[in-house]
Amino acid sequence: MIRVLLSISLFFLLFADSFAQSNARMASEAIAPVYKVNRWTTGGTVVVGYVTSQIGFNLLGNKPRIPEDVVLGLKRANVNAFDRWVFNFDPNDRKQAQDISDLGLRASVLLPIALFIDKEIRKDWLDVSLMYLQSQVLALNIYTYLGAGAFDRYRPVTYVEELSVEFRSESNNARSFFSGHTSNTAVATFFAAQVLNDYHPHWSTGKKALMYGLAAVPPAFVGYYRMKGYKHFPTDVMTGFAVGAASGILIPYLHKRSQRRSNLVYFPLINQEAVGLYLEARF
């Protein structure tokens, strides 16, 4: 779902760029925007990041099934005590919980649209939209190359002995680390909080902190239902939360006009033995 939304948004924004540039030239009296966004460069990183994330997802999709003898040898007692409490959830409720987490993700990734209710932010809609897409593709690449692409961790569902070994052996069940749903949700909410705070520097520290506190609610909600759906362990959700929040905050920070010079470069590193992600923040 997140990839479909990114595709639609990307093409729309690239076509809209030429119109926005014309309007910007006409608005010579306008106040300098909060962010410094080179639309071609930022749009280029979004395109490249989207393509590399799709390559990463294709690599994930080609992973082999989990050997049945490995599945049969999994023991809940071997899971660390902190993560083990996920087994307190009823496995029979997992499908409903997964559906709820999907709905939470879909609603959350659209949340930044509400930023455009603010008149000042609405004037910079294209720049803000490009930054948002950049934040999402950054998180997607971290997930595909440094998360599920780099680590095989079996989902909680693989430990449910009541389910068939054939189902538990599916390759997708080796993608527990980390929670992509939680990550993409956190990108959306923390990006929105960061942008609001950047456009309202006069807000008190307490009010700014409240924005971040509210931003934590949707990913916590989605993460809870990912655990209840036997998709992830608590540490998977916590990692996804951290990656998403960092991506949502980092991109606006790097684009702020108050920074002397900043740029973010990232691309995947792929060879026959391993995959990875190169990240470079220039100041």
Domain regions of the chain by residue span: 2-282
What was the pLDDT predicted at 265? 61
Q: Give the whole-angstrom CA distance, residue 231 versus residue 156.
A: 6
What was the pLDDT predicted at 33? 76
> Shortest CA distance to 186 belongs to which of 214, 150, 165, 158?
214
Q: Give the whole-angstrom CA distance, residue 26 versus residue 24.
A: 5
Q: What is the mean pLDDT of each run of 10 residues along the chain (283 residues)?
A: 49 42 41 86 96 95 95 97 97 98 97 96 97 98 95 97 97 97 99 98 96 98 99 99 98 81 58 60 57
Contacts of 262 (CB under 8 A, 6+ apart): 254, 255, 256, 281, 282, 283
What was the pLDDT predicted at 67? 97
Q: Give the whole-angstrom CA distance, residue 124 versus residue 116.
A: 9
Q: φ, ψ for residue 207 (rounded to 5)?
A: -70, -40
Token code pair at residue 82 = 């902190």
Question: Would you give the DSSP letter of residue 142?
Answer: H
What was the pLDDT predicted at 130? 98
Tell me how far CA of residue 54 lies from CA of 3, 47, 60, 122, 241, in angstroms.
8, 11, 10, 30, 21
What was the pLDDT predicted at 106? 97
What was the pLDDT predicted at 1? 52
What was the pLDDT predicted at 98? 98
What was the pLDDT predicted at 282? 58
What was the pLDDT predicted at 17? 45
What was the pLDDT predicted at 255? 96
Question: Would you give the DSSP letter of residue 35?
Answer: B
Strand (E) or helix (H) holding 88: none
> Shortest CA distance to 235 belongs to which of 84, 75, 103?
84
Q: Give the whole-angstrom CA distance, residue 147 versus residue 104.
A: 21
Token code pair at residue 229 = 């759906």
